[in-house]
Amino acid sequence: MSAFSAVRIPFPAVVAARSAGEKPSSPFLCSPAAAPVIHSSPLRSPRLGRPPLAVTSDVLSSQKPLGSNSSPSCQAVISRDEALELYEDMVLGRFFEDMCAQMYYRGKMFGFVHLYNGQEAVSTGFIKLLETRDSVVSTYRDHVHALSKGVPARAVMAELFGKATGCCRGQGGSMHMFSEPHNLLGGFAFIGEGIPVATGAAFSSKYRYEVLKESNRDGLDVTVAFFGDGTCNNGQFLECLNMAQLWKLPIVFVVENNLWAIGMSHLRATSDPEIWKKGPAFGMPGVHVDGMDVLKVREVAVEAIARARNGEGPSLVECETYRFRGHSLADPDELRKADEKSHYAARDPIVGLKKYILEKNLASESELKAIEKKIDDIIEEAVEFADSSPPPPRSQLLENVFADPKGFGIGPDGKYRCEDPKFTEGTAQV
């Protein structure tokens, strides 16, 4: 049964079912055998008026390890190539973020740096199913989304160092990764800000198909919007859920629920912590999935993206995940309890996938080690490249404020006025 039909909503899941042998279980179970209460706070319970909710997932509630069945004789759900691709992507994300931390403490990077350690399964699980023409919109925690989408590691690293060879020529920084060839639309510092932008990108995809009649046999361009649990209380999110469903836009809303918004626990901030429920409230399917398991994420992603591509409309996917580091490198991370951290550290997505690959004999240990070594080299090279790149020249300060180079508009011949050789500025110069 598909993960989508596990959700009790009147809309049928139209996509093909996958017979992976996974038993459908309800997304949240309050079973006492489930994981320990993730967050308890004396300030919370009296207000909510109900006992603390243990946020669990199907993996925990069914007490199963990664993958459908643990016996090696069972067929793997992905092919060898796909498994290695996923592994490589997650390792790239992890090693890159670790290197970012190192570089920050050495003073090569500055400002705000938000690391993605622990959440790689979500990025890899979704983005590796997208094509180049599909868009990704993210928040400030966007390094790994950029890498998964195909932005070269050296461009991202150079951007973080503030060099002219970065993907945004050093003008954006850690939180503002944009890449037009890869259709990476950022990189927004305000949470919730990227969601309307993503909805707009999806709108443009539908518009091009319906109004401009650009046909594409392979379906619409899909937009995937990534954001966190804190964003789900923001008005913009809800407004976009409404409009996306109303207009059946080809978008997938992916909630990376890592339970914490800086120091604010999701359970303290949200009246109903089950975010996936907000989907059906607007008429779209809402699914909760274990975000520490890349295969489960991928399974759900396949359906959600197919729905969007076929024009069936948006989906809301809540991925329960965890960030191993603090909110940013400046966050002392004092409020999260050690047992919660160790609980999720034990479910490290990379370790989990590695175990799965070895169990299903998709690859050998040495091949995985070779991949890790390759990624190490890529990261080293990225750092060297970024180090040796020049900082932006002084003249770059005033560039790119407008698309129109000098701001004098378009002339009657349709070209920029400043490009007309007879044009004299007559005003002060830069």
Residue ranges binding another protein (CB under 8 A): 41, 43, 110-112, 159, 162-164, 168, 170-176, 188-192, 230-231, 233-235, 261-264, 268-270, 335, 391-392, 394, 396-398, 401, 406-407, 427-430
Question: Min. distance of Cβ 326 from another protein in angstroms?
Answer: 11
Note whether 259 and 38 are within 8 A (CB). Answer: yes
* CB of 97 closer than 8 Å to CB of 50: no
From the CB of 137, what's the least distance to another protein, in Å?
Answer: 15
Query: Could you tell me the smallest distance in angstroms from the CB atom of residue 321 to another protein?
Result: 18
Nearer to another protein, 69 or 396 (CB): 396
The residue type of 224 is: V
Q: Which is nearer to another protein, 346 or 401 (CB)?
A: 401
By CB atoms closer than 10 A (0-12, 13-18, 19+), residue 400 is exposed
Closest distance to another protein from the beta carbon of 111 (Å): 3
Nearest approach in angstroms of CB 333 to another protein is 10
Query: 112 or 324: whose CB is closer to another protein?
Result: 112
Whether the CB-CB separation of 245 and 203 falls below 8 Å is answered with no
User: Rounded to whole angstroms, how far apart are CA atoms 154 and 267?
Assistant: 38
Nearer to another protein, 8 or 394 (CB): 394
b (16+ CB within 10 A) / e for 172-190: bbbbbbbbeebbbbbbbee
CB of 187 to another protein, least distance (A): 9
In the complex, minimum distance from the CB of residue 407 to another protein, in angstroms, rounded to a whole number: 8
Q: How far apart are CA 31 and CA 54, in angstroms?
A: 8
Question: Residue 76 or residue 267: which is nearer to another protein going by CB?
Answer: 267
Q: What is the DSSP letter of 419?
A: G
Would you state the structure tokens that stand for residue 51, as one six-digit string? 């006992």
Buried b (16+ CB within 10 A) or exposed e, 72-92: eeeebbbeeebbbebbbbbbb
- Indicate the residue among 155 and 292 with the shorter CB distance to another protein: 155
Instruction: Supply the minimum distance, in Å, between the C-beta of residue 402 and another protein.
Output: 10
Q: Which tokens hold the place of 237?
A: 């999110």
For another protein, which is the closer residue by CB, 41 or 62? 41
The answer for residues whose C-beta is within 8 angstroms of residue 31's C-beta and 6 or more apart is: 56, 61
State which residue, 82 or 239, has the beta carbon closest to another protein. 239
